Amino acid sequence: MLEAWQAAGIYDEQIFDEERIIATSAPTRRSTHPQRLVDDIEVMNAGMNINIKDGIILSYGDSLYRGGDAEPKDVDVHKAFCDTLEEEFSAHFADFMKPFDSNPPSNGQLVMDHSGEQFQSADASTFGDSRYIFHDHCTENAKITSCMIANDCQWDLDLKDYSTGPLPAIFRFMLTASPDNDLISNMVDHGWDYMSNMIITDDDTDGDDVGRYLHRNLIENVPGTVSPVKAWFAFAQVPYGGSFALEPVWKFEVEMENNWYEAAVTVHAPYRIVSVVDWVSDSHPLPKKPEAGSGASYNVFKWGLNDPEAGERSIEKEHFDALASPLGWHSIPVSDVSGRVSTVKNTTTTWGNNIIAHENWEGKDAWEDNYRPDAGAQLTFDYIYNPKVTDGSEDAMIEAKKYINASITQLFYTSNLFHDLFYRYGFDEVAGNFQHHNFGRGGKGDDAVIVNAQDGSGFNNANFATPPDGQNGRCRMYLWNTANPYRDGDLEAGIVIHELGHGLSTRLTGGPANSACLVFGEAGGMGEGWGDFLATTIRSTKNYSDYPMGAWAANTPRGIRNFPYSLDTTVNPSTYKTLDKPSYWAVHATGEVWAEMLWVVSHRLIAKHGFSETLFPPAPLSDGTIPEGDFYRPAEYTLSGKRKPLIPKHGNSLMVQLVVNAMKLQPCNPSFFDARDAIINADMVLTGGENLCELWQGFAERGLGPNARVIGRMPWGGGFHIDDFSIPRIHGVNTVTEIRLAQIHEKSA
């Protein structure tokens, strides 16, 4: 079986003509992260990663140096960084202040305007600590660099007297790294004393990496540190002439009270800081939520009731998830101009951090001033829904508008639960979810979903627009004139979930910055199919049933698709070859086939693992730990004691997890085959592939076996589709299963 270190050697021989040493850091059977050596000297930021599973290379990449010999270069990486930061900071600041050119904010604090609820803020993910980073590490640092170049610093030590050795470099670094202004002043005034007090010794540590610890020193008594600084000579890759060059540097490991830096400083004056990595990951503290009673309540069709025919409305509490919505659904963090001091704005309407819900009877793009119900200080969203039969369409519209408060409330409630649910399955800030404020957890903010209830731009439909991360998603929900009184799409959870599912699949497929990965062909169809599958899974219960899509709103038992979603091939005969039919060339019909396949696969997992009554994982404990409860399998740990990702123990929750994980693995514009393989790979990563047989059996049952193919495929679809009901011979699976699957379809043909 191929080991990771063996794969690294093979990779190295294929990339480089001449033999060079690879120093591997703690290689395992699964992965290795080799370092490049030049003349037996480490090259920083020049490595590769290779991930191995069962002797197969899953992924690899490298940043290896491919240039010539090392020599000092007139390259100031730090200055280049500061120039870029200054440009970005200035641009963000200018954009941020535009709305206030004629009406400056008072005291630097921005709040929601009560008349129109127009809201502006500088979110930490957009503006953040740029101002402080620039001041501390660029403005002040430039002063030190400038005087060192000119050799006119106002201190009693000339660092150029130390032309060799790491002392002037570490002294220079600490002048920038220390957060203690008094210490910096003392270092400037008494530099000679500090330098004379430093002691260099050899590090006797036995190196476990080839060449890494050659000629390594320890520097004791470095001001501002809590342990001896480790120092050794190395090379660093720096941008030079459109490519990269090697810069001789001193590499340091500097442990301080609140930071632990890996730094590189040039060996020659003015001792430029080439790179810095802080091994300590700062956790952004959440702003404290102001007192707001016991939370909101909503008179709604509770989560799991698909539409008004599925059950009665009830008073439901604001059941937000503490991880996904740490301040609840009606509280929005507000950052001041500095980006540091945050307050929280509580709203009493349906304007929150995740969702902004309102009417849009005019059907236009304006939304800030649209009507929203105000539930008052108690946040009691309790409104009447009792539509009456009318004499005509004009009266039917008037009747529908009477219960707009109930419609907006239902839309806000369903949409927030969707946000919180899929946050727990991995659609978080980094993955590109929709939130106004991202709590310093990555991704781009300022993109809560704008949801329009009773949108006046159409009837009998709904849509969702998904721009790249950092821009608001837009969801339009329509009235349906299929009955008297009109039916309201806001009240059919399946339609709302389907539309929100577009935001999920579009942001995850190809990454949150690319919204063009599910546009046409099979990819566009699967964008529709995932929405149907998730909506159907959410409404399903332990007692199996077939489910149509949009049946209540459309006022027809069959719903808005060709067939209900069913395990029975006489009820839903869809297979991969069904896509040959002209009526299936459109994305919604293509999506039906994909959703049916997922429905069948999901029930293979349910048959094996059982059914969970809830798809919501347990709430985190007070220390942030996620308990297994009856939702997850017992936690597993790596050899180093790190907790592995928890695995849902039931089939329906496991399938949702695999679908979300697979979206992140599949390529841009995936085919059915790509998406199928991504789900299989997702299971391989999460469970070690224990469901490989069930997954193949489910896909093969609907014609997407390993030998399924398309003849004459065009980028936008088309071609001649060929079913395959066989499955690979895995884990002793024999031809009995293959024959049984084929017989089932012969009988239903």
Going by the annotation, the residues of the binding site for Zn(2+) are: 282, 498, 502, 528
Distances from the Cα of 53 to the Cαs of 30, 186, 729, in angstroms? 5, 54, 20
Which residues lie across from 52 on neighbouring strands? 57
DSSP 622-641: TTSPPP-TTTBPPP-B-TTS
CA-based nearest residue to 676, from 511, 522, 494, 524: 522
Unique residue bearing structure tokens 């001789």: 248
Per the CB < 8 A criterion, the answer to whether 273 and 265 are in contact is yes
What is the residue type of 510?
G
Structural tokens at position 218: 């320890």
Unique residue bearing structure tokens 């800081």: 273
Percent of the chain that is helix, strand, coil (3-state, to 5): 35, 20, 50
Query: Cα separation of 427 and 507, whole Å?
Result: 9
Q: Which residues are annotated as a binding site?
A: 282, 498, 502, 528
**Phi, psi of 196, rounded to the nearest 5 degrees:** -65, -25
Distances from the Cα of 533 to the Cαs of 21, 426, 542, 592, in angstroms? 51, 18, 16, 9
Q: Active-site residue 399, yes or no?
A: no
**Phi, psi of 158, rounded to the nearest 5 degrees:** -100, 105
Query: Cα separation of 700 and 600, whole Å?
Result: 10
What is the residue type of 539?
R
* CB contact burial 182-201 (16+ within 10 A = b; e otherwise): eebeebbeebeebbeebeee
Peptide bond before 179: cis, by omega within 30 degrees of 0?
Answer: no
Distances from the Cα of 441 to the Cαs of 120, 312, 337, 513, 594, in angstroms? 20, 38, 19, 17, 33
CA-based nearest residue to 530, from 559, 554, 557, 507: 507
Query: Cα separation of 390 and 496, whole Å?
Result: 26
Q: CB count, 10 Å around CB of 264?
A: 26
DSSP 708-734: -EEES-BTTB-SEEE-B------TT--
Which residues lie across from 452 on neighbouring strands? 358, 476
* Annotated catalytic residue within 359, 429, 499, 694: 499
Peptide bond before 290: cis, by omega within 30 degrees of 0?
Answer: no
Query: Cα separation of 473 and 123, whole Å?
Result: 17
Unique residue bearing structure tokens 């690319």: 514
Which residues lie across from 249 on neighbouring strands? 234, 266
Per the CB < 8 A criterion, the answer to whether 530 and 537 are in contact is no
Query: Cα separation of 661 and 646, whole Å?
Result: 13
Structural tokens at position 582: 């002209």
Query: Cα separation of 286 and 608, whole Å?
Result: 41
Distances from the Cα of 190 to the Cαs of 184, 185, 226, 699, in angstroms? 10, 8, 20, 74
**Phi, psi of 747, rounded to the nearest 5 degrees:** -70, -35
Give the residue ranges of DSSP H helices in 190-262. Answer: 191-197
What is the residue type of 131?
R
Structural tokens at position 670: 């995936």
Structural tokens at position 177: 């790294």
CA-based nearest residue to 546, from 614, 599, 604: 599
- Angle (CA) 135 139 144, round 5°: 130
DSSP 341: -
The residues annotated as belonging to the active site are: 499
